[in-house]
Structure 1
Amino acid sequence: MKQHEGGRQVRIGIITGSGTERLPGAQVLATMTPDTPYGPTSGPITLAEVSGRTVAFLARHGAGHSLPPQQINYRANLWALKSLGVEGIISSSAVGGLRPGYAPETFVLTNQLIDRSTGRIDTYFDGSRPTGVRHLPASDPFCSTLRRHLQQALTARGLPFQAQGTVVVINGPRFSTRAESAWYVSGGADIISMTQYPEPVLAAELNMGFANLAYVTDSDTGHDGSAPVTAEAVFGRLKAAQPHILAVLEAAVSTLDEGYRAPQLMDPEAVRIIMDQPVPGPSANAALGFEPAPAVSR
């Protein structure tokens, strides 16, 4: 287990989405911009003390929400968190609700996903690395232990939530057409996101647990008679909900067992080889990066 800041162990990572780019009230211990074999992360990683625990915090869209969902360097983000000693990741994200029961201002503890994104690099084991091709068991992509701690935090605060939900992940940054939205519902989706893939599977490939605290900001194309989603509506609801989102994340971190260990779905030796890859210098990493572009996504 790696240690930082005078022997503190970093076991939990927090990845936040639209509208939540800081951890107000957390005691910041250090800020770093790690180099990775996959290029730059979305932005600096902050080590902070939350409820007596040291967590590694990363805003997936970068500073000022500058990275659209299809340009996020997911592999770099997850590799960097693992390199700090992270065992489990709690993610927050804004989502659209696709059916009754998943109305705006409801939290969802995502337990399944449907990937409809395109062009995203979604594995460390692509055949080009020393480990070759590895096949990940992905029947349950979200960690039940981390989800349970989030559920306890939501229940204690009396916040409305769904204990499970299937998220369909689209490329973005545009929102859905009405026909697409109806099709996703017919395929079993409850909520819709632009960022909840490939984070969970990349975490699992590195033997890290992953849970998602989703917050419904809209009803997508308006299946409930409401107006179709707009960026302004998403950010407006997120701003109002931010204190609740941060309180739930903090409470979940505070109750998590110090000995938490994620399910080991990948051969530990293969993970070690991935993590032991040489890291290029800053100039080489910059060449591997993505040009940021202003975007709004959920």
Structure 2
Amino acid sequence: MTIAKIGIIGGSGLYKMESLEDVEELEVETPFGSPSDAFILGTLGKTRVAFLARHGRNHTLSPSELPFRANIYAMKQLGVEYLISASAVGSLKEEAKPLDMVVPDQFIDRTKNRISTFFGEGIVAHITFGEPICKNLASVVADAIASLNLPDVNLHRGGTYVCMEGPAFSTKAESNLYRSWGATVIGMTNLPEAKLAREAEIAYATLALVTDYDCWHPDHDSVTVEMVIGNLHKNAINAQKVIQETVKRLSENPPASDAHSALKYAILTNLDKAPAATKEKLELLLKKYL
């Protein structure tokens, strides 16, 4: 079943896509439970896309509560091959200013309570993850940003996203530690998505939208909730323009992606001898290797 080849996950502030046409809602069930919300299916330009509000459209799910496996598995069920993840982040570098956009190429995992694999229960798989973002998809996203010349927005191609557990933000000591590691931005959601998307053989890229500086910055204490919400709103408007342009470019020239064959050498278990129940549960991921 292919309903949409392009999926979009909207983070904090991005709960819907205003420019979608021919919109319909679709409740999707997976072997891993229900996703964060109903999917919004619609047309951007001439291309059908699947949109999901990561935290629910009323922002009712904290980062640690997100049904990551259901979200990504549902994308796979809908036929998604390219997944764009828009996310609010804090900046760990002076040059990555509020309202800037970062298209990271690396992650550091600081989560503690997330299940970030579909496998287990009798089937073992180890994906390669040295390059956790699909470079070709990330290039399309970055080129889309560059082409739009958005006011007050600087593009940062590449960078490291620290994924923390949350929901509390970092201490200053942690923030300075991440800066010493050379990290660019910090958020709470994208790494489990990236790992699961790779297992699902979906090309994945992050559109990181800077809302403010993390607490290392000397001006951090002067940041107000109103300022952050204002930046979230501006970022959401800009993100929709970027996503629309990215979808246009993807539909005209879908890039090759190593992610699309990520499981080819990753499964260590002899599937002929694997538990039938697990094979059935993961049939969508395994069928071309069975």
TM class by shorter-chain length? 0.7 to 0.9
Aligned twin of 2:121: 128
Change over 3 Å in CA distance of 1:269–1:170 after alignment to 2? closer
Distance in 2, Cα, partners of 1:265 & 1:245: 28
Q: Against the structure 1 CA distance between its residues 273 and 206, is the aligned structure 2 distance closer, same or farther, given a 3 Å change threshold? A: farther
Q: Does 1:89 align with 2:83?
A: yes
Residue of 62, 69, 74 corresponding to 1:68 = 62
Check conservation: 1:18, 1:235, Cα contact below 8 A: no
Structure 2 residue 145 is matched with structure 1 residue 138: no
The CA deviation at 1:80 is 0.3
Q: 1:34-45 alignment to 2 at 5 Å?
A: 34-45=28-39
Aligned pairs (5 A) from 1:268-279: 275-276=282-283
Letter matched to residue 18 of structure 1: S
Aligned residues: 268
Counterpart of 2:246? 252
- Measure, in 2, the Cα distance between the counterparts of 1:199 and 1:232: 29
The 1:275–1:133 alpha-carbon spacing in structure 2 relative to 1, beyond 3 Å, is closer
> Aligned with 2:146: secondary structure?
helix
Offset of residue 188 of structure 1: 2.4
Structure of greater relative contact order (alpha carbons < 8 Å, 6+ residues apart): 1
Q: For 1:273 and 1:164, locate their aligned partners in 2 and report how far apart those are by CA, in whole Å.
A: 38
The aligned amino acid for 2:283 is D
Distance 2:237 2:103 in 1: 18
Maintained 8 Å contact 2:13/2:232:
yes
Q: What is the Cα deviation at residue 162 of structure 1? A: 0.5
**Aligned partner letter, 2:193:** E
Question: How far has the Cα of 1:228 moved from its partner?
Answer: 6.3
Contact map agreement 1:221 1:229 (CA 8 A) in 2: no
| Cα deviation, residue 216, structure 1 | 0.7
Equivalent position SS for 2:58: helix
Q: Which moved more, 1:21-30 or 1:134-143?
A: 21-30
Question: What is residue 239 of structure 1 aligned with on the other side?
Answer: 233
Q: What TM-score results when the alignment is normalised by the length of structure 1?
A: 0.84
Q: 1:113 and 2:107 equivalent?
A: yes
Q: In 2 relative to 1, CA 136–274 (structure 1 residues): closer, same or farther, beyond 3 Å? A: farther
CA distance in 2, matches of 1:88, 1:53: 13
Gapped regions of structure 1 (runs ≥ 5): 5-9, 278-298
Q: CA deviation at 1:243?
A: 1.8
Pairing 1:188-267 to 2, within 5 Å after superposition: 188-227=182-221, 231-256=225-250, 257=252, 259-263=254-258, 264-267=261-264
Q: Within 2, Cα distance between the matches of 1:43 and 1:229? A: 31
2:287 maps to none
Q: Is the 8 A contact 2:23 2:43 kept in 1?
A: yes
Greater helix share, structure number:
2
Deviations 1:79-137 (A, max 9, x none): 00001110010010000001221121110001100000111001011x215xx111110
Q: Secondary structure at the match of 1:188?
A: coil
Corresponding residue for residue 286 of structure 1: none
Gaps of 5+ in 2: 272-278, 285-290
Identity of aligned residues (%): 36
